[in-house]
Amino acid sequence: MYKIRFFICNCIVLLNISLYAQDSIPAIKIICDTDRNTVMLRWAVSDPITWEKANTYGYSIERFTIEKDGAKLPQPEKKVITSSPIIPEPLETWESIIVSNNHAAIMAQALYGEKFEVGNMEEGGFAQIVNQAKEAEQRFSFALLAADMDFKVAIKAGLGFIDTEVQKGETYFYTIKTEIPKEILNVGEGSVYVDLNESKKLPKPIDLIAINEDKSILLTWEYERLKAVFNSYYVERSDNGTDFKRLGDTPLVNMNSKPGTPRRMYYTDTLSQNNTTYHYRVVGISPFGKHSPPSEIVTGQGIKKLEVTPHISKTEFDASGAIQVYWDFEKVAESEITGFELNWASQEKGPYTVVKKDIEPHTRQTTFKEIAPSNYFTVSALGKNNQKTTSFTAFAQTIDSIPPVSPVGLEGIIDTLGIVKLQWIANTERDILGYRIFKGNLEKEELVQVTVSPISKTTYTDTVQVESLNKKVFYQVAAVDRRYNTSEYSEKITLKKPDMVPPSSPLFSKYEVKENGIHLHWINSSSNDVSGHQLYRKHVEEANKGWKLIFKTDTITSYTDVNAKSGEQYQYAIFAIDESKLQSSPSTPLTITMQHNAPQQVIKNFRGVVDRLAEKIDLSWKITDKQVSEVWIYKNIKDSMPVLWKQLPASITRITDIYVSPNTEYTYQLKVILKKGYSTLETVNIIY
């Protein structure tokens, strides 16, 4: 057995192993192809350990017939098409072919070789353990590569199978399992669907491009979109566009499928001389060894490299204010170019724009009039073979101390979440760098800048605290040019915050119960956005009827409830309403009983009788109302102040006054205190 040592360096071909990317759980991946009345199967496991064990225990294949002649079978027909597990063929069967087949040699070395080293393996100690792990990975990866490159090698290595016992017009479902005992390793089975009614043709490789270089042609074509179809390519060249020959006996493969790698394949054809036209095409190769139709033909030829580069010697402003750009270029190289181009950018890193074209090869100076505050220039020499060389950057700057005009059209809105959206009209100066935003919470305070550096857009998003005492916020904008000259402020705009804070509550200051009703007085809400106040009343004994609005006002601070009934108890509450229709919390409710002050006519026949013999005066009366609490009697001598003489219960309707003196005139006044009010005052005068 041959010992093969592989060294991979500076490869431009990359292996497509996406089909066999490692999974978290070992599993089998399958692809298939059909050819006349045969089905070709290719499979692989997902990691080196599973591959090594499967080489020992082998694979089994089951086929399920699903349809015949377009009719779906009621029950799939199962058939085990491997009489014994498929394993790699023995070592002695490889020795006859490895001399003539490189892919067979790689596979044999991966399966049976004592050493399998790629690149520079370290030696000794822990490095030897690492090398063993690397070696297992390399054996696995190169085995898959060899199987991809040659389907016959895949079959010989136990990674491919041809099923010839199939019929046209039938569809099948294949499953492949490893015979590894589950107690050793649990491996997921693979499956694939095959329809012999479908005729699949390989597509052409696409987007072939030829790039002319000095004594070489770089070929590139799309790889990513067809990587599941082709695993390698042949590049073919022709001198006349008809008779093509392959460039090299070994097909090109992509040996790197990591994220971020180029989506295209590249190949460089080295030429012995320039200016000879060649024709190229590309043929794709499938994992089953089938060749695709050739791609579209492209042409190319080696071109002499333009090696002379312009050099800008100076820039200066002329009397008109334009910039004069001067450069150097070797006289002897003028025959190799078609002319020059002047490129301009507003910043050194670009992007650069061509501002002057078709400058004659003998010219070394040009004028630039569209001047900006900062001007960066390069000069490009255009070669006759579509080549270009470009000078280093040169800088020219004007003196600018004039600020831009102040921005106009500033406007904005605030939503209910406190998000502020500002916008304004863009300045027309060419050297505008951006805008600064200023903000304030009080109308007469100096606004504070809220942007760290000038912003380039003409919109700005800010946030404000909605639930705060100040109801408005103020903004201004200033423009800044590239020399950091700042404009005057724009007009100040005032934005009203969404009103989320209800007004403060009004307060009852006093109340009075009078004959004409209950007089209420209050202190209005102290909030500055109050639009009015609302007074509500509720009957205490009819609480289920709720509050009733009895009065609305904007500035009045008192109200007389003339509809209050005598002896009834009421509750009063007052609310403030602001301009956003938000209602304050109620004032502390007042509970008031209406005592009617109008005297009632409930006393009849109030009179006094003099008994001089007994030296007394007898008083009597009648009361027509049963709701009597007390009877009050006042007494006084003529021309003196009355005083309360007696307080009697309601049941007494007569009384005797024994404290009398002859020749004295007495006045008696009778008043009845009712449960709801009081009576009229009845008077009787008696001369004793």
Higher-pLDDT residue of 673, 395: 395
First-to-last CA distance in the chain?
A: 163
Same domain? 384 vs 355: yes
pLDDT at residue number 256: 63
Q: For the segment 358-408, what is each residue's pLDDT rounded down to a tens digit?
A: 999 999 999 999 888 789 999 999 988 778 999 999 999 877 778 899 999
Please state, in angstroms and as integers, the Cα–Cα distance from residue 580 to each residue in 148, 469, 495, 571, 573, following that order: 76, 15, 15, 27, 21
Final residue in a domain of this structure, among 559, 593, 627: 593
> Residue 125 — pLDDT band, cuts 50, 70, 90?
very low
Task: Please give the pLDDT value at position 197.
Answer: 79
Band of the pLDDT at 220, cuts 50, 70, 90?
A: very high
Residue 4 structure tokens: 């093969």
Taking the CB of residue 373, how many other CB atoms lie within 10 A of it? Answer: 18
Q: Is the pLDDT of residue 530 over 90?
A: no
Domain closes at, from 363, 397, 431: 397
The CATH number linked to 536 is 2.60.40.10
What's the CA gap between 160 and 157, in Å, rounded? 8
For 139, the token pair is 């054996």
Residue 181 resides in a domain: yes
Cα(150)–Cα(104) distance, integer angstroms: 8
- Confidence class of residue 261 from pLDDT cuts 50, 70 and 90? low
Taking the model in full, what pTM does it have?
0.48
If one counts every other C-beta atom within 10 angstroms of the C-beta of residue 565, the result is: 12
Phi, psi of 544, rounded to the nearest 5 degrees: -65, -15
Q: What is the pLDDT of residues 15-68, one digit of tens each?
A: 333 344 444 689 999 999 888 789 999 999 989 999 999 999 999 999 999 998
Quick check: is 481 in a domain?
yes
Residue 627 binned pLDDT confidence (cut-offs 50, 70, 90): confident
Mean local confidence (pLDDT), 530-556: 86
Residue 5 lies in a domain: no
In order of 102, 120, 144, 307, 645, the CA distances from 9 in angstroms are: 18, 10, 19, 30, 133
Q: Check pLDDT > 60 for residue 219.
A: yes
Q: What is the pLDDT of residue 69?
A: 85
Residue 344 has pLDDT above 80, yes or no: yes
Nearest to 574 by CA among 594, 593, 555, 549: 549
Residues 296 and 319 in one domain: no
Distance CA 41, CA 32 (A): 5
Mean pLDDT for 482-493 is: 89
- For the chain, what is the domain count? 6
* Last residue within a domain, chosen from 277, 301, 325: 301
Please report whether residue 32 resides in a domain: yes
Residue 10 lies in a domain: no
Please confirm whether the linkage preceding 351 is cis (ω < 30° from 0).
yes
What pLDDT, on the 0 to 100 scale, is given for residue 54?
A: 93
- pLDDT confidence band for 134 (50 / 70 / 90): confident
Separation CA 214–CA 272 (nearest Å): 10
Residue 501 included in any domain: no
Do 570 and 616 share a structural domain? no
Q: Which amino acid is at 612?
A: R
Share of the chain above pLDDT 90, in %: 42
What is the distance between the alpha carbons of residues 77 and 586, in angstroms, rounded to a whole number? 84
In terms of domains, do 447 and 563 share one?
Answer: no
Reading the block at residue 134, the tokens are: 């690397």
Q: Is 241 left (phi over 0), alpha (psi -120 to 50) or beta?
A: left
Above 60 in pLDDT, residue 130?
no
630-656 mean pLDDT: 88
Residues 162, 276, single domain; the answer is no
29: Cβ contacts below 8 Å, ≥ 6 apart: 19, 20, 43, 44, 45, 46, 190
Together in a domain, 47 and 118: yes
Average pLDDT over residues 490-514: 85
Residue 258: per-residue pLDDT? 60
- Say whether both 274 and 318 belong to one domain: no
Residues comprising the chain, all counted? 688
Report the share of the chain in percent with pLDDT over 70.
91
Q: Is residue 403 part of a domain?
A: no
* Spatial separation of the C-alpha atoms in residues 69 and 167, rounded to whole Å: 10
Residues 186 and 70 grouped into a single domain: yes
Is residue 286 domain-shared with residue 264, that is, in the same domain?
yes
The residue with greater pLDDT, 241 or 579, is 241
* Cβ-count burial 389-402 (b if 16+ within 10 Å, e if not): bebeebebbeeeee
One domain, residues 328 and 429: no
Burial level of 688, CB count in 10 A (0-12/13-18/19+)? middle
Q: Sorting pLDDT into bands at 50, 70 and 90, what band is 257?
A: low
Residues 176 and 45 in one domain: yes
Beta strands, E only, 587-678: 590-593, 603-611, 616-623, 628-637, 643-649, 654-657, 665-674, 677-678
pLDDT at 566: 75
- 537 has a pLDDT exceeding 50: yes
* CA nearest to 188, candidates 78, 44, 90: 44
The whole-number pLDDT of residue 127 equals 43
Residue-wise pLDDT for 142-173, tens only, equals: 888 888 888 999 999 999 999 999 988 889 99
Q: Domain span at residue 677?
A: 603-687
Model pLDDT, residue 508? 87
Whether 598 maps to a domain, the answer reads: no
In this structure, the answer to whether residues 36 and 123 fall within a common structural domain is: yes
Are 207 and 233 spatial neighbours (Cβ–Cβ below 8 Å)?
Answer: no
